[in-house]
Amino acid sequence: MKRTANKPALSSERAAYLRQNKRQVRRIRLCRWGFLLLLILAWEGAARLGLMDSFIFSQPSRILETYVTMAGGDLLYHVQVTVTETLAGFLLGAAAGVLLAIVLWWSPFISKVSEPYLVVLNSLPKIALGPVIIILAGAGTRAIVFMALAISLVVTVLEMLSGFRDTDAGAMRMARTFGATKGQIFRKIVLPYNIPTLFDSLKVNIGLSLVGVIAGEFLVSRAGLGYLIVYGGQVFRMDLVMASVIILAVVAALLYESVVLVQRLVGKRFGSH
Amino acid sequence: MAILNVDGVRQTYQTLAGETVALENITFSMEKGDFFSVVGPSGCGKSTLLSIIAGTLSPTAGQVTIAGQTVEGPSPHIGYMLQQDNLLEWRTIRQNVLLGLELRHQLTPEMKDRADHLLETYGLSGFANSHPSQLSGGMRQRAALIRTLAVNPDILLLDEAFSALDYQTRLEVTEDVYRIIRQEQVTALMVTHDIPESICMGDAVIILSQRPAVIRETLPIHFDLPVRSPLRCRSCPEFAGYFSHIWKELGMHETHSE
């Protein structure tokens, strides 16, 4: 049997295949950026030609102008408020969610008792609790953080609990043959086994927390991107609304990517089962 | 003095549907360094017997003594080898091997040295910093055995330890494990449903009946070999005789006609 794959010189078929592959990757990238550019140009063009009412839909050049006038600290301040609130809600929600999941994993009894409540709480739109949260936590940052926490908490609990329960039974049995206690089994087997579950849950939660924060800012705030959007809408400054929405999209993507980055730092070893 | 004494063990299970007797009057003893196999029809309670010896299940009647001490609760004298190697992927082979010591709070420098020495002796020191997925099935099972031996057990229990492996790997691993167990002079009790395996590894084969399981016979195994190894036993003239004897005792033909 002859094998040519190990030779340093590439066969012409292989070279062609690699070239083809590279070309495809480049084409996809080109089309992605091209589409964005086209969208912006069409939007701007339609607004200038009067095909679209720029009062309602705004237009790229005016959005850009808004950025320039707000760049003197104002915009950054609002972004910072939203990001801080999101991170606070996200971290608190994740910590509380994991802790509750541990309690429920530990005690099947508590878990069975709380099951119907969790199901109901999970399907309830948490934003409906807005007024209650405002009364409880006060109309301010605390209510907003609380909203972000509430929105990600139950999902975290359910996802982590199901991960804990799906932990490899063989590995736990093996630990028990060494006389492992329940606490040891949790620390040495269940928890490390569920690091991927944790990150899956965090990736969903960072987005959910942002939803909670924006909803909270709609209701009570005096700062943040949610506030800018509502304010812009009320005074009919669609440039401001659009500018804030675009910034929000960028912020959401960056937050998600930072979770992905942390996962990579934590190590590939925990990446899969 | 016998290292393991199983005396009149009886085990019943309670369910809402009724009471099931799994084991009845099981009595045998093992000397230090013995290797016994246990065979029996599936579902007869072989694994239950191991759980009782390990102290993770307390018998309805009778008792188990290891090195003169009655077993009450999980015994530190016992090492267990299961069907799966259950190596943890997020740990290196060395960290996996140390897991048992860690769980038993015995992670002293001497015990660590012992574990490293075992890794070295059995050809795994080059893989100490590798992760389980980088090892072959046979090497993984060897690592699992070293993890068990690292806690220095008096008695090693093997619960269908090779049945998850493909046939060829299985033969290699049995060879490997047998050599290690003999070299370390560990007392071993192996449950299996594989008759050839029970013959070529055991000094004696304990044959259990169908449920409620009693000991039908404890068959001493002897091969005329200067150095015994499972593979060599398979080609010995005595092998066929032992096989048909156990086959008859197990009454496999009766099971089929049911």
> Each residue of A114-150: pLDDT tens digit?
999 999 998 888 888 888 888 888 878 888 999 899 8
> Class of the B4-77+153-257 domain?
alpha beta
Q: For chain B, which residues make up each domain, given as ranges?
A: 4-77+153-257
What are the extents of the domains in chain A?
Answer: 12-52, 65-270
pLDDT at A1: 43
Q: Is the ipTM here above 0.90? A: no
**Residue B112 in this model has a pLDDT that exceeds 60:** yes
Q: Which of A177, A192, A195 sits opposite B54 (nearest CB)?
A: A177
Percentage of chain B lying above the pLDDT 90 cut = 31
Q: DSSP for chain B, please give it.
A: --SEEEEEEEEEEEETTEEEEEEEEEEEEE-TT-EEEEE-STTSSHHHHHHHHHTSS--SEEEEEETTEEP-SS-TTEEEE-SS----TTS-HHHHHTHHHHHTT---HHHHHHHHHHHHHTT-GGGTTS-GGGS-HHHHHHHHHHHHHTT--SEEEEESTTTTS-HHHHHHHHHHHHHHHHHTT-EEEEE-S-HHHHHHH-SEEEEE-SSSB-EEEEEE-----SS--HHHHHTSTHHHHHHHHHHHHHTHHHHHH-
Name the pTM for this structure: 0.80
How many interface pairs between A and B have CB atoms less than 8 angstroms apart?
49
Chain A residues closer than 8 Å to B89 by CB: 269, 273
CATH of A65-270, one of 2.70.98.10, 1.10.3720.10, 1.10.390.10, 1.10.580.10: 1.10.3720.10
Contacts of A180 in chain B (CB under 8 A): 103
pLDDT value, residue A2: 44
At A257, the amino acid letter reads E
Q: Which of residues 12-51 of B touch A (CB under 8 A)?
A: none
Interface of B with A in 142-181 (CB under 8 A): 151
Pick from B99, B103, B131: CB nearest A179 = B103
pLDDT in tens, B119-143: 998 888 899 999 999 998 888 988 9
Can you tell me the mean pLDDT for B229-242? 87
In this prediction, residue B75 carries a pLDDT of 83
Residue B62 to chain A, least CA–CA distance (Å): 22
8 A C-beta contact, residue A79 and residue A252: no
Residues 19-48 of A with CB under 8 A from B: none
Answer whether A174 sits within 8 Å of B151, measured CB to CB: no
Residue A7 confidence (pLDDT): 54
Mark yes or no for CB contact A177/B99 under 8 Å: no
Residues of chain A with pLDDT under 70: 1-8, 72, 268-273
Among partner residues A170, A171, A176, which is closest to B56 by beta-carbon distance? A176
Q: pLDDT at position A269, please?
A: 61
pLDDT score of B204 more than 80: yes
Percent of chain B topping pLDDT 70: 97
